[in-house]
Amino acid sequence: MDRETARYIITYFPNLLTETEAMARRHANSLEKLRDIDKTDAKWRLYKKRHWLTDDPNTLKLISNGYEEFELTTATRIYEECLDKLHINKCPKCGKLARTPQSRQCRYCSHNWHSVIAGKFQLKSSFQLANRSFFLVGKIIEGEASIGNYIDLTMIGLNCQPKVGAIESVRTGGDGQQGEDVALAAAGLTEQEMQYLKAYGSHGTPFDILKEIKSC
């Protein structure tokens, strides 16, 4: 695996790291931020207190050969064990890796595929009613969403672009402040993906609503 792909996997799919791998990454990133700060500084104690640094030997062993080697080893494991959970976003024209899972323009050949975006959706919550679809609730903040579009959930580390099976309105607010959100029925999600979304809650950065999805 090349370093570019390894960095992409570790950066955009951190939910696929084991607990020990996640701690090793956090520790290495913390050391980088503290590189020019004396160990007697209060900032070191703060990082220790918040568990951004660790003394665990199993964790430290993962980064004993340097962070780049850790990234390569960890990304290779994820690729081999969790390929179906990765969205390797490649340019449909030249086939090279895009900068992020949500990129719609190639940094190498400049080809863009922004035309697939129908709108943008900001997630507030998600739920499932008995014997009914799983719904993502939020706001359409740009463009529109239609039945048959796809919700790009790669923003939160899921290799998942479920089809919009239905669109409903949801009343919100209290204390005399009434509002209305939109609920998008997300078809085809696994039980694990639904539980992940419920636990995730809201997300400030909007998701793309896609007219179509491409094969990678």
| Contacts with 145 (C-beta within 8 Å, 6 or more apart), sequence order | 118, 119, 121, 164, 167, 182, 184, 209
Residue ranges covered by each domain of the chain: 3-85, 114-210
Residue 216 has pLDDT above 80, yes or no: no
Decide: 171 and 182 in contact? Cβ < 8 Å. no
Residue 10 has pLDDT above 50, yes or no: yes
Identify the band that residue 132 occupies on the pLDDT scale cut at 50, 70 and 90.
confident
Question: 95: phi > 0 → left, psi -120 to 50 → alpha, else beta; which?
Answer: left
Q: Environment class of residue 103 by beta-carbon count within 10 Å: exposed (0-12), middle (13-18) or buried (19+)?
A: middle
Q: What is the mean pLDDT of the chain?
A: 92
The whole model's pTM is what? Answer: 0.79
- 3-class SS at 198? helix
Q: Any bridge partners for residue 126, and if so which?
A: 136
The fold adopted by the segment(s) 114-210 is Elongation Factor Tu (Ef-tu); domain 3 (2.40.30)
Q: Any bridge partners for residue 183, and if so which?
A: 137, 168
Overall average pLDDT of the 91-100 stretch: 94
Identify the band that residue 172 occupies on the pLDDT scale cut at 50, 70 and 90.
confident
